[in-house]
Structure 1
Amino acid sequence: MKKKNNRSMDKKYHKYQSPLAERYVSEEMSYNFSDHLKYSTWRKLWIVLAETEKALGIKAISRKQIDEMKKFQDNINFDVARKHELRVKHDVMAHVHAFGEQCPAASPIIHLGATSAFVQDNADLIIMKNGMNILLKKLINIIDALVVFAREYKGLITLGYTHYQPAQLTTVGKRACLWMQDFIIDVEDLENRIDNLRFRGAKGTIGTQNSFMTLFNRDEEKVKLLDKQVSKKMGFDKILPVAGQVYTRKLDSQISDVLSGIAQSAHKFSNDLRLLHNLREIEEPFGKKQIGSSAMPYKRNPMRCERVASLARYIICNGLNTDFTSSVQWFERTLDDSANRRLVLPEMFVATDAMLDIVLGVVRDLSVYPKVIEKRVNEELPFLASESILMEAVKAGGNRQKLHEKIRKYSMETVTLIKEEGLDNDFIERVKKDKDFAVIKERLDDILKPENFTGRAPKQVTEYISGVVAPILRKFKKLIGVNIEFKV
């Protein structure tokens, strides 16, 4: 028996497959940018247009035609549309003809008075609005998970860093609030874009509504009502007052700015965790059978956070495409936006969706190692406490300038021994031996208590969650509890 060629057995492995679609994206976001939703939305727009035109007095449109269109709204004959597109080289007209073959009675009135942008642009706005709502749900759940984490560790004292150098003490919970705040700013931006997104509506060929003026015998009020009612039926209260053939591509740029902002927040979060991972203070989830390295079995690489950073850079860089497209449109429109938008807009949403799924999975299952954190705090605390030691000694009668010089000298000597000889921090022992500090020697242990150096950090956590975060979570409480399935 002749052996089958591997190529014929499974051809999908012999052509490019999008890693975003295959590896990362959730089913919900994947469907949102699917051909089925896109073209069924086109058909819904044609149906709503015909219904509204009929309601406003166009007698050429019958109830039978509209019912026939509704019957096939979601039953799309893709193969027929593909054949038409090969012939006419126009995707909208290909689908007009394909829809018409299924709806022979309605065929004469499909797309009546409309231009291609009526279905293309309006559908894009609907789909992007859906996409933003999906991302909003993910962000709310990330914030909710961070609240749980911040509350649990609001009092766990840790080193705070500036320039990635030990600076002062803070708490793990307070640091989580910094991550949380960035994501909350993203929620506010996303909500603003969703609430203020304007529909293109029924504007005609180049936005003048001339075709509809002809259809309604120059009745401007009916033409304005058509625009308003179609938009309302498609879920939009706000409409672009004016448009060219397409909606202004500035809307794409504004939306991509929000996605870029989300990516920036996620990148910052992932960077912090990768650094903490190296310090062994906090680690992302690591499966019992997970392999960290093909060559080094002991490794626990922060691969999830690295993937977040990787996707975030892709999103941030892709945002430049929408900026350029917005800036270089000619007059009422040019088509040099088409291929670019077809790639950029879905992939920015898909990548952001995948990135947030990973962030949520990480936050929900972080591992914290208090003993390691405490050890590092104790190693650096003597230096961090030097100013307090100086102040207490001066209050007890010492000379500020003389004591400052001694503390500086002991600090530098200790640092040298730590770095060059690997010795432990003996700064406090040096201070204790100095007679000029004898007056506070018995109080040094109390001065060196870590909680004396965290300021209001624990209370800031409580106040921030109750004053800022809780109202947001109450507002979006229906979105909390989504199950996220992490995709490798």
Structure 2
Amino acid sequence: MIPRYARPEMTAIWEPESRYGVWLEIETLAMEAMAELGTIPKSAAAEYRAKGKFDVARIDEIEREVKHDVIAFLTSVAEHVGPESRFAHQGMTSSDVLDTCLAVQLARASDLLITGCERVMAALKKRAVEFKMTPTIGRSHGIHAEPTTFGLKLAGHYAEFARNLARLKAARAEIATCAISGAVGTFAQIDPRVEAYVAAKLGLTVEPVSTQVIPRDRHAAFFAALGVVAAGVERLATEIRHLQRTEVLEAEEYFEPGQKGSSAMPHKRNPVLTENLCGLARLVRSAVIPAMENVALWHERDISHSSVERGIGPDATIHLDFALHRLAGVIEKLVVYPENMARNLALLGGLHNSQRVMLALTQAGVTREDAYRLVQRNAMAVWQSPPPRADTALIDKLRADKDITAKLDAKTLEACFDDAHHFARVDEIFARVFN
């Protein structure tokens, strides 16, 4: 993670002060639960709550000697608490603290990601409604296909982010899991009620069967969900980049006053924000495979997952959080050019209505194969004619084709070129997307 692609709200979750603060709360809650159960003195738990504090620099100093972060942390806290600290960490193992803390951090990160996703959805909905009936050409394989509306394009991305929102909520629920079960998960030295107490206080559920750790399939599912969300970010960013190409220019990122696009070319207005989003999406997705590979730990636990999670936990959540808010800002300020959409829609002289003509021929009794052939030979003649093409290029060709006019009268043929037909179901689709 670098500050350039980080928001302070998300970064704060991963700062050492925050992490050690969660560790301290876990240890304190565990002591309070043990005190209620009568396994340690209540005065010890109260003392730990009152005096428990830590010093990050001191923890680092101790860790350089003992080579163990949790021991270094407990030693630092003990220096503040005094003799009663001997009752801390009773029957617990380091992973009880580490895994439960990671669950808290990922749950908190999820809350911010959910907020970011909701902001993207709000921006998409507003702009989709704004351009609900704005005609534009739909493209398949990058080539003109049939008309759609710009609002429908955005509505499709809204629907995808609604699914992404559900994925983030499900991922949060799966990862928000507590394990305080001892060295190999048997509760041999600690009462399961301690785990239940800590989980409830931290807003977590208990892991049904832990080993020394929470099973990593949960983490794999979490990071996989982040990867899917990142893919959605990139899909929308890529669409905007294509629409901003000079030859297309149907939409573009807002260009700030005083902004410069190139050190060499003063005229440049580049889609730098959406290009950046595509790069950030790749970084987020890079966490998915390592998270999957963390699932197969040795026996009750090995430490091979630890170095991976120390990296991908902060990096993936910080980058995705930043990306979601950057994407929302792009959509909120997106500059849209309906006049260029109309220009591009007319570029091929009505070829986008070729299917309408073919279907009309089949309704008139022509086989589909013959109808396709008849329309295609005229469409290819228009396609290969040099631009600029008249808006009526295809229908003019068809009117001159006796095989066509033998089957379709003038009124039927003209009806095939009424673009309003393509937008007849827009209201219905919007109702499905936005309820």
Establish whether residue 195 from structure 1 lines up as the match of residue 195 from structure 2.
Answer: no
CA distance in 1, matches of 2:427, 2:383: 30
Partner SS state of residue 166, structure 1: strand
Q: Secondary structure at the match of 2:148?
A: strand
Within the candidate set 213, 229, 232, 1:246 is matched to: 213
Distance 1:394 1:127 in 2: 61
Map 1:450-461; keep pairs closer than 5 Å.
Answer: 450-461=419-430
The offset of 1:126, in angstroms, is 0.6
Is the 1:142–1:359 Cα contact (8 Å) retained in structure 2?
yes
Q: Decide whether the 8 Å contact of 1:157 with 1:169 is kept in 2.
A: yes
Q: Given residue 65 of structure 2, which amino acid in structure 1 is its aligned partner?
A: R
**Deviations, residues 212-248 of structure 1 (Å, cap 9, x unaligned):** 2xxxxxxxxxx23222122112212x21121111111
Instruction: Tell me the equivalent position of 2:33.
Output: 52
Equivalent in 421, 424, 429 of residue 389 of structure 2:
424
Q: Which shifted more, 32-41 or 193-202?
A: 193-202
Measure how far apart 1:62 and its partner are: 3.2
Counterparts of 1:17-416 in structure 2, within 5 Å, are 20-58=1-39, 60-63=40-43, 65-73=44-52, 75-197=53-175, 199-212=177-190, 223-236=191-204, 238-278=205-245, 279-327=248-296, 329-380=297-348, 382-389=350-357, 405-416=373-384
Give the 3 Å change call, closer, same or farther, for CA 398–224 of structure 1 in structure 2: closer
TM superposition shift of 1:389: 3.7
Are residues 254 and 401 of structure 1, via their aligned partners in 2, closer, same or farther at CA, if it must alter by over 3 Å? closer
Contact residue 150 and residue 461 of structure 1 kept, 8 A: no
SS in 2 for 1:288: coil
Shift of the 142–453 alpha-carbon distance from structure 1 to 2, 3 Å rule, reads same
C-alpha separation in 2, matches of 1:344 and 1:406: 57
Q: Name the SS for the 1:245 alignment partner.
A: coil
Report the Cα offset of residue 409 of structure 1. 2.6
Distance 1:390 1:187, change over 3 A: closer
CA deviations 1:251-300 (Å, max 9, x no partner) are 11111011011011111111111111111001122212111111122221
For 1:391 and 1:381, the matched residues in 2 are separated by 19
Asked whether the 8 Å contact 1:396–1:440 carries over to 2, the reply is no
Q: Which whole-Å CA distance do the structure 2 matches of 1:396 and 1:62 have between them?
A: 90
Alignment partners' CA distance in 2, 1:451 and 1:283: 26
Deviation at 1:128, TM superposition (A): 0.5
**C-alpha distance in 2, partners of 1:398/1:131?**
61
When residues 83 and 452 of structure 1 are mapped into structure 2, their CA distance, relative to the original with a 3 A threshold, is: same
2:59 is aligned with what amino acid? Answer: A
Say if 1:259 and 1:352, in contact at 8 Å, map to a contact too: yes
Local SS of the residue matching 2:346: helix
Q: Helix, strand or coil: the match of 1:147? A: helix
**Shift of the alpha carbon at 1:161?**
1.5
Q: CA deviation at 1:98?
A: 0.5
RMSD across aligned positions (CA): 2.4
Deviation at 1:117, TM superposition (A): 0.9
Any idea what the Cα deviations from partners look like across 1:325-352, whole Å, max 9, x if unmatched? 112x100111122212111221111111
**In structure 2, what is the Cα distance between the partners aligned to 1:132 and 1:460?**
30
Task: Report the CA distance shift for 1:413/1:57 in structure 2 as closer, same or farther (over 3 A).
Answer: same
Pair 433,203 (structure 1): closer, same or farther in 2 beyond 3 Å: same
- CA distance in structure 2 between the aligned counterparts of 1:295 and 1:411, rounded to whole angstroms: 43
Residue range with higher mean Cα deviation, 372-381 or 141-150: 372-381
1:177 deviates by 1.6
Q: Is this contact kept in 2: 1:174–1:458, CA < 8 A?
A: no
Output the amino acid matched with 2:348: E
Structure 1, unaligned stretches of length 5 or more?
1-19, 213-222, 468-488
1:195 positional shift: 2.7
Task: Could you tell me which runs of 5 or more consecutive residues in structure 2 were left unpaired when the two chains were aligned.
Answer: none
Aligned-partner Cα distance in 1 for 2:4–2:115:
21
Q: Given the superposition, is the C-alpha separation of residues 85 and 451 from structure 1 closer, same or farther in structure 2, using an over 3 Å criterion?
A: same
**Code of the aligned partner of 1:449:** D
Q: Contact 1:157/1:451 (CA < 8 Å) preserved in 2? A: no
Q: CA deviation at 1:403?
A: 7.1
Aligned equivalents of 2:88, 2:130: Cα separation in 1: 59
Give the whole-Å Cα distance in 1 for the aligned partners of 2:143 and 2:290: 37
1:210 maps to amino acid: A
CA contact (8 A) 2:54 2:73 kept: no
Write the distance in 2 (CA, Å) between the matches of 1:240 and 1:401. 61
* 1:381, distance to aligned residue in structure 2 (A): 5.7
Distance in structure 1 (CA, Å) of the matches to 2:362 and 2:3: 66
Contact 2:107 2:176 survives alignment (8 Å): no
Q: Shift of the alpha carbon at 1:23?
A: 0.5
* CA drift at 1:429: 2.8
Percentage of matched positions with identical amino acids: 23
What SS does the aligned partner of 1:160 have?
strand
TM-score, with length taken from structure 2: 0.92
Cα shift at 1:80: 1.7
CA distance in 1, matches of 2:303, 2:369: 72
Structure 1 equivalent of residue 418 of structure 2: 449
Q: Note the alpha carbon deviations across 1:14-54, whole angstroms, 9 max, x for none.
A: xxxxxx33101111100011111100000001110110000
Count of aligned pairs: 429
**How far does residue 415 in structure 1 lie from its aligned partner after superposition?**
1.3
Partner AA of 1:204 in structure 2: G
Deviation for aligned residue 1:430: 2.7
